[in-house]
Amino acid sequence: AVGLIYSAPNLYPDDPAIQVSGASTALQVTQADLDRASAALKASNIEVKAASIAENGKGGLLRLAKAEDQLPAKDVVRKALGDDYVVALNLAQTTPQWLRKLGAHPMKLGLDLSGGVHFLLEVDMEKALDARLKVYEGDVKSLLRKERVRYR
């Protein structure tokens, strides 16, 4: 019977979610921020199951109905809230509170069994290209000086 209780959380799949937090530690996410994000998602035909503020008040969570909506929802929420907020993909537990209080948690499956990892690296291409061109310019100038070629 004890084994049955502690295996029960595996029957509750995680909800796809969007996690929102302030870009600085001073900025707290409010219910009004989550309402604004939820309205933007609704306007984009993305269903939100629930929106909640974290217990510490430092972040919020938007639970989505469908996993395939998660990536488009991230972009919609980022546009709706602006650069003052960090928007990330997440999975939210659906295990009932009474099971969690008993210490029953879903078994972690590991990266290979739970879908892997999504890593997104955003690069400011304009700045990166400018920096690279300056390096090339310096290399060309050094080579011309070395060969004693005049240039302007």
Q: Identify whether residues 8 and 28 lie together within a single domain.
A: yes
Q: Are residues 45 and 101 in the same domain?
A: yes
In this prediction, residue 115 has a pLDDT band, given cuts at 50, 70 and 90, of low
Same domain, 141 and 95: no
Q: Give residue 53's domain range.
A: 2-118
**Whole-model pTM?**
0.64
- Strand, helix or coil for residue 8: helix
Residues 83 and 108 in one domain: yes
Would you say residue 109 has pLDDT above 80? no
My answer on whether 74 and 139 are in the same domain is: no
- Compute the average pLDDT of residues 35-57: 91
Shared domain for 64 and 44, answered yes or no, is yes
What pLDDT is recorded for position 118? Answer: 66
CATH no. for residue 109?
3.30.70.260
Which residue reads 């510490």 in tokens? 56
The pLDDT of residue 132 is above 90: yes
Band (pLDDT 50/70/90 cuts) for residue 114 is low
Report whether pLDDT(74) > 90. Answer: yes
Quick one: 126 and 106 in the same domain?
no
Instruction: Determine what percent of the chain is predicted with pLDDT higher than 70.
Output: 93
Specify whether 39 is located in the same domain as 14: yes
Q: Which of 89-93, 105-109, 135-139 has the highest mean pLDDT?
A: 135-139
- pLDDT, one tens digit per residue, over 81-99 is 998 899 999 888 888 888 8
Number of domains in the chain: 2
Same domain for 30 and 89, yes or no, is: yes
pLDDT tens-digit series, residues 9-45: 778 888 899 999 988 877 888 899 999 999 999 999 9
User: Is residue 112 scored above 60 in pLDDT?
Assistant: no
Q: Within this chain, do residues 18 and 74 fall inside the same structural domain, yes or no?
A: yes
- Note whether 106 and 129 are same-domain residues: no
Same domain, 100 and 140: no
On the question of pLDDT at 116 being above 80, the answer is no
Q: Are 27 and 79 in contact (CB under 8 A)?
A: no
